[in-house]
Chains A and B, each alone.
Chain A
């Protein structure tokens, strides 16, 4: 009973009932319309036939007077085919025909009537429906010609039967169909409910079943699964981040503490203390820097409102950053090449995007300088750092390319994560936050960030939506 009550409560069942009602009404109206038209068709046919007969009878009367007409009517009356006739003389006596006036339960004047009658020679009292037309003939004669409409009654019976039968059929099929559909829907919904409950209970790997039929349930399931993927990804990310933060902040904190302890134990004289304190301050500054970067990334990833969003020229920022880092690159033995189109207007935070581009250039200088003798063969000066910016398909692309060792394809998405540093980078200063920050800034601005092979080297590409499509 509860299962049945549950069935009754479902949307699918209610919908089925509604459809059932609609279809029943529709069937009813369709049949009524057909019946009405069929009746009209029969009436029209009878009317035409009567009119034809009346004309012929009138012709007979004109040609041979009442006697000839009486003969004609008598002849016609005997022929089978539903014709009804009555010829009345001026005194009101029936002269010929298969009807008597008594049989017709209506006073008869000239014109068309729908009447009930029973045939004179048929003993039964069955009242039948007929369409008759009465005309006055010269000399006071009256002629009534009619057609039996018995067919019409039969037709009505057929239609009524059909209506009854179809309603029963529609109701039965509708209820069965409704139960079937509802069962199916309920089954899918129940499965989804079970899965979501298990996910809520902590089984984050659980996913909704996709049947492959690509129906609305599948689409819903696919979307929910995508959402679950994202949630799981975020949860995993969160866990990794807290693990990483614990590890990567503990390391410098430990170093800082050790330095302080070391100074206390071994320092001789104020100069030593001073040097140790300088080191400790430098380490503390590094920690602050890490914290700031982490906060910035966290804020960028939380999306929400964009800080200080305004249109600005990214080409100018690229030039600024290039100019800022060029001397450092030269110190590192690298040349800097630029291919910056301009202006390239984007909307966002000039500071954050500037920082992102600076991080890319900083990286390119840091790792691009490692080109010496690592398989390039010539062992000469490492290739240039190339900073390019251009408009591309309604977007603005800033790319920083170097000729360093690059990043193996398998590691490219990994290095965008917080604190991830490749083994080859361990010896360089840094915290593994630079690229994470760029990725976060890209996400925050509705752009994208990816690493490509520069063959050899790394090409870091930051794509941002262009602010003005027309200015190109």
Chain B
């Protein structure tokens, strides 16, 4: 369902890197590994990668400088920063340096995979955004703020609309709870309890209730995905 991505992992911890390479390959992607900042920079500059995964603390050239260097070269490959530093300002610094996403160690691989797939797809689809999202018989018109299923209008609260919009923009991809909190609510904190699940189940009640084929699916241990159940 998701086409294979070419991923470069720049990480000096050999065990962590080996684990990531193996996990991404199992998920059907192509993953290369660079063990220090300079190697990583050379490989990123030469190869056509869909996504870079960059550790912040790297020998020879630190992660943020590497990203800055690539951006100055006009390379717009999406970059996800991995860091043991998880404070608010660290995240801001990372994104300011040209990173597209930021994930704090330790992380769940499912979270990393979901984020990397979203980044890669954003690159492939380019900046042009459709105004109407369609998944099966569900239709979301972003300009008219209207949602219909089987042609019948579905009444959504503004936040529910944004939630569905985000899910449908990444239709077929796994979207994690933290991604939803970050992108739909614009907060990066840990909501502790299952607040996001409750929102999704309410949305699901409006979208899927009374229809044979559910479109919003729970992905165990990862998050949610919107897809037409037939495929």
Contacts and interface: CB of A to CB of B under 8 A. Distances in A.
Contacts of B87: 295-296, 299, 307
A370 to B, nearest CB: 15
B88 A328 contact: no
A327 B185 contact: no
Contacts of A299: 87
A355 B188 CA distance: 9
A307 B89 contact: yes
A365 B92 CA distance: 31
Main secondary structure of the interface of A (DSSP, over half): helix
B142 interface: no
Interface in B192-231: 192-195, 198-199, 202, 221
A324 B221 contact: no
Main secondary structure of the interface of B (DSSP, over half): loop
A365 B198 CA distance: 14
B195 A328 contact: yes
Contacts of A307: 87-89, 92
Given A281-B221, A331-B198, A362 B88 contact: no
Interface in B19-72: none
B192 A324 contact: no
Contacts, number: 68
A285 B108 contact: yes
Interface string B97-125: 00000001010100000000000000000
A182 interface: no
Interface in A308-363: 308, 320, 323-325, 327-328, 331, 349, 351-352, 354-355, 358-359, 362
Interface residues of A, number: 32
A323 B189 contact: no
Given A278-B221, A327-B199, A362-B192, A320 B88 contact: no
B195 A354 contact: no
A292 interface: yes
Contacts of B202: 327
Given A327-B198, A362-B193, A288 B187 contact: no
Contact of A358 (B92, B108, B191, B198): B191
Contacts of B92: 307-308
Contact of B189 (A295, A328, A358): A358
A358 B189 CA distance: 9
Interface in A235-291: 278, 281, 284-285, 288-289
A335 to B, nearest CB: 15
By CB atoms of chain A within 10 A, which of B87, B104, B185, B202 has the most?
Answer: B87
Given A281-B108, A285-B108, A331-B198, A349 B189 contact: no
Q: Which 8 A-B pairs have the closest CB atoms?
A: A307-B89, A355-B189, A327-B198, A351-B88, A307-B88, A328-B195, A308-B89, A328-B198
5 contacts: A288-B106, A292-B104, A307-B92, A352-B88, A429-B193
